[in-house]
Chain A
Amino acid sequence: MFRNYLKVAWRNLIRNKSFSVLNIVGLSIGLTVFTLIVLWINFELGFDRFHENQERIYEVNNQYAIEGEIWTWNSTPKAMAPAIKKDYPEVDWVSRYYYDTPFLFSVDEKRIKATGTIVDPDFLHIFSFPLVQGNIESVLSDVNSVVITETFAKKIFGDKDPIGELVKIDNADSFKVTGVLKDLPDNTDFTFEFLVPWDYLIQKDWDDNNWGNNSVATYVKLKENVDFNNFSANIKTLRKNYDKDSPDMETLLYPFSRTYLYSEFENGKEIGGRIELIRMFGFIAAIILLIACINFMNLSTARSEKRAKEVGVRKVMGAPKKYLIYQFLGESMLISSIAALLAFVIILLVLPSFSNLVGKELSIDFTSKAFWLSAIGIILFTGMLAGSYPALYLSAFKPSAVLKGTFHKANTLITPRKVLVVVQFSVAIILITATLIITQQLEKVQDRQLGYAKDNLIYTFIEGDIEKNYGALREELLKSGAATSVTKTSSPITESWSNTWGIEWEGKKENDKTIILRLMADDAVVKTLGLELLEGRDIDLQKYPTDSTAVILNETSVALMGFEDPIGEIVNDNGKKWHVIGVVKDFVFNSPFQKIEPLVIEGAKGWFNVVHMKLNEANTTANNLATIERVYKNYNPEYPFNYDFVDGEYAKKFSDQQITSKLAGLFTLLTILISCLGLFGLASYMAENRIKEVGIRKVLGASVGTIVTLLSKDFLKLVGISILIAIPVSWYYMSNWLEDFAFRITISWWVFVIAGVLTLVIALVTVSFQAVKAARANPVKSLRTE
């Protein structure tokens, strides 16, 4: 019996090649997209979820009401961890995590720069980063011990056993390798190549007990069986005993497992984060698979007349209805299996490019039972979903009707099929408008006036001897003609590293805790960065030595501080008095998607991490860089010369949105393609079924044009309904999406016009291809066959 079904199914596939191809290709595109998205989602959901007892791991956050709004952030004072350790016995392990910092490693003549961080010894107890060599209890107990990853060990020591080897870090301190870590997996947010104990920070005098300096991450792992609700209520008031300035600031434990996907807070409430993107694409995956299945249903039922006779004969021969249902379901299973096979091949081919697109290293684990189970599950599910309607529809035919030859559906477009087409095209239109709006928004932000000149601007980090030799270095850079202007700053112009609500000025309202961004710049900042000066002048230490305590404000902070004539006003920050010498036009410092925040640029009395250089446009960039490298080598010989282009760094701010936009575009295209495959098939069957009608009309004098209109009209009506459904839905969702950006486009009506017209044209082309073919057929032929 089974063999018989298989035979019939297979022969049916072969006999109706175009139908089979439409079905299989449509379904396999759907399956491919679905699988790719699911792989990606699976990867994202598994991010940092491999830590043992992860439900006991928490990130320490702060929460504070500022200006009536609750703010939540995850950087903590350095003194937080010891306080927790001392006061809260419920905590098993606690570790700080200094920022990821590049350090220079040297062994003999070898110099390698690596990114790593400083942690407490508990760190390896909290997170599951297993040691290949070394004892977890002691690897970080000595001040000058360092733990490195396998790959990094190989890079620096080759095949030599790294344990016990000495390395010099930052050309200053000697460290002994005490442990080797297994390389970090792809799916973790941590990126360190080495770990150094916190004691080193104390030794370097980088530690501080300032509760106002929230700059490191703190992680805790609770003891087993600690009641979290009790404990979190308990630890909330931690700062009361320590923080004199903000004793009311709340200490909050945030589950570490949620940090990657959620961790976006608004007014003290978790509002999502990356998970929203994942949900959105998960939804799209399901929709595309559904559309592919809808195609299958539509094409199968449209072909029902061809199968009607078979149903009739089988029923007369005694086939019970359920056998016929099994048969048709089996056929759709066969098709879905073939489609799955094809999809599998496509997935293997495109997985590398897709990984590239989403920026994640995705892979399929063929050894996992879960993979094979879900693969079979998907095949069964798709086969079931796609085959259910045709199976029920076909198996319900009455043999006496179909065998008599009186069985004819006058119009191929019966209601359920109409609904399915409308669903397909609504989704397609929604996706088209979404893509258009996302692209527009991205373009608008990319075209945003930055307020500084990002071209030919590079920066380097201050490391090694640069601090010491800065004066001479700068002098020589300018003399060499490679740079036209050089400025030391506290952070790259693309990243804001420091902010405060502690700045005071005359007339500041009490309790005003508006956060102001800080940038420090020693000299000629307006010139180097290409800022637009609105009032006053640039910092010029040569001419005005007092400019070491000068400050330049941006427009927003002038407005905040309410200065009528800002020049000469005094602002207090960090116990120093800064005098305002200039006002610059607002420029984008943080996210180009958000509104501009108040900012102060403080002079040479600040602290510095970065050197910005404006390259001389008269020379080629390569020449400039070569000259600068030579100068750097002179003043900082131990370090390799590394630099970043500001425009390149700025472009990275768009990577997430660009991925969204690219994926949306891709999925839109595929949705349209799948929908058109379906429509094409449907139109061809419709044309075939109405061939007699067309013949009669032609004999009676209808022109090709009127017949094409006649045949296409029904479909276009459906597309019209889809447009009406899609526009409000898409408008609603895209308005919501845009809400996330302070700097955003307003949705214009023509987006919907374009999407509607585009869909209509595509549908028209698809349908009329068949309609024209039918209309041009010789009526004598078609009438004779009846």
Chain B
Amino acid sequence: MLLQLRNIFKWVQLGGQRIFLLKDINLEVQEGEFISIMGPSGSGKSTLLNVIGMLDTFDEGEYDFLNESVHSLKEKYRSNLYKEYIGFVFQSYHLLDDLTVEENLEMPLLYKKIKSSERKALVADMLDRFSIVGKKDLFPTQLSGGQQQLVGVARALIGKPKLILADEPTGNLNSQQSEEIMQLFKKLNKEEGVTIIQVTHSEKNAAYGSRIINLLDGRKI
């Protein structure tokens, strides 16, 4: 088992009232799964994804990741954990505009204390695999949305994560670009066994996954 959420609650205090963002979420994810989280705006999809990605905290409940109790870990260990095992893909790509494609790919490796020669090899490998060698010296703003997201996925993968969290990865893309990214996810999941959890609005994209979780007002339905 990759991760398990037990009775997760998250809320904010607003004018003396508790507004629940997540309410009693239970979820088990096995390695190799491809899960889609769906639901209307404000239903807590992104919040759930952030909690799983350890970018956000929760107020109640338990979270085990690879047999570690995330809820009792210190911030430093938590960040080591997600640095090691989780890759993120964002709707608006979130590439650094000041870095080239190659440098963007290299960036996560910098924080893992990997030697320069090894970094070079890993980046070259990734560029090759995604067929973007020719674009390695371009800046993100010089790429189309689809290409940017391709770089985003490559960056998420470069640290060899067990889990990829994608927050509406195709939200800013047209249908053809969407298709390509989803195919890529499917391939990664099938051939390399990478676990994927994605948030999506689209039924079509959700269908790529092996399981769909529906949320409404912070509750699993």
Which chain A residues have a beta carbon within 8 Å of chain B's beta carbons?
1, 4, 7-8, 11-12, 15, 309-310, 312-320, 323, 398-400, 403-405
Contacts and interface: CB of A to CB of B under 8 A. Distances in A.
Given A319-B111, A403-B90, A404-B46, A8 B55 contact: no
B79 A318 contact: yes
Given A316-B88, A316-B94, A400-B56, 4 more contacts: A8-B96, A11-B98, A310-B96, A318-B108
Contacts of A398: 55
Contacts, number: 63
A318 B99 contact: no
Contacts of B98: 7-8, 11-12, 15, 310
A31 B14 CA distance: 49
Interface of B: 46, 50, 53, 55-56, 76, 79-80, 82-83, 88, 90, 92, 94-99, 103, 106-108, 110-112, 155, 159
Contacts of B82: 318
Contacts of B99: 4, 7-8, 11
A4 B79 CA distance: 21
Given A4-B107, A7-B103, A400-B50, A320 B94 contact: no
Contact of A4 (B46, B55, B106, B155): B106
A312 B94 contact: yes
23 contacts: A1-B110, A4-B103, A7-B98, A7-B99, A7-B103, A8-B96, A8-B98, A8-B99, A12-B98, A15-B98, A314-B96, A314-B111, A315-B79, A317-B88, A318-B82, A318-B108, A318-B111, A320-B76, A400-B50, A403-B90, A403-B94, A404-B46, A405-B92
A219 B155 CA distance: 79
Nearest to A310: B96
Contacts of B95: 313
Contacts of B94: 309, 312-313, 316, 403
Nearest to A312: B94
B107 A316 contact: no
Nearest to B50: A400
A7 B103 CA distance: 10
B103 A320 contact: no
> Which 9 pairs between the two chains have the least Cβ-Cβ distance?
A318-B83, A317-B108, A400-B55, A11-B98, A318-B111, A400-B56, A400-B50, A313-B94, A319-B111
A404 B50 CA distance: 10
A399 B55 contact: yes
B15 to A, nearest CB: 18
Nearest to B104: A313
A12 B98 CA distance: 7
A318 B85 CA distance: 11
B54 to A, nearest CB: 10
Nearest to B47: A400
A769 B110 CA distance: 43
A400 B167 CA distance: 12
B106 A320 contact: no
Contacts of B50: 400
B180 to A, nearest CB: 23
B110 A320 contact: no
**Main SS class of interface, A:** helix
A547 B2 CA distance: 119
Contacts of A312: 94
Contacts of B90: 403
B117 to A, nearest CB: 14
A4 B96 contact: no
B4 to A, nearest CB: 21
A464 B40 CA distance: 110
Nearest to B51: A400
Contacts of A313: 94-96, 107
A398 B75 CA distance: 12
B107 A320 contact: no
A407 to B, nearest CB: 13
Given A316-B88, A400-B55, A403-B94, A323 B111 contact: yes
A310 B104 CA distance: 11
A317 B111 contact: yes
A516 B181 CA distance: 101
A713 B106 CA distance: 46
A320 B96 contact: no
Contacts of A310: 96, 98
A4 B110 contact: yes
A315 to B, nearest CB: 8
Nearest to A9: B98
A320 B79 contact: yes
Given A7-B99, A12-B98, A15-B98, A314 B107 contact: yes
B218 to A, nearest CB: 16
A318 B112 contact: yes
Contacts of A400: 50, 55-56
B107 A317 contact: yes
A398 B79 CA distance: 13
A350 B56 CA distance: 55
B55 A316 contact: yes
B104 to A, nearest CB: 9
A454 B26 CA distance: 100
A67 B94 CA distance: 83
A8 B100 CA distance: 10
A313 B107 CA distance: 10
A309 B88 CA distance: 14
A4 B114 CA distance: 14
Q: Which of A12, A15, A315, A403 has the most CB of B within 10 A?
A: A403
Contacts of B159: 318
A278 B98 CA distance: 46
B210 to A, nearest CB: 25
A15 to B, nearest CB: 7
Contacts of A404: 46
Nearest to A10: B98
A738 B88 CA distance: 68
Contacts of A317: 83, 88, 107-108, 111, 155
Contacts of A4: 99, 103, 106-107, 110
Nearest to B95: A313
A626 to B, nearest CB: 75
A8 B139 CA distance: 12
A317 B99 CA distance: 14
Contacts of A315: 79
A338 B90 CA distance: 36
Contacts of A12: 98
Nearest to B109: A317
Nearest to B93: A313
A401 to B, nearest CB: 9
Contacts of B110: 1, 4, 319
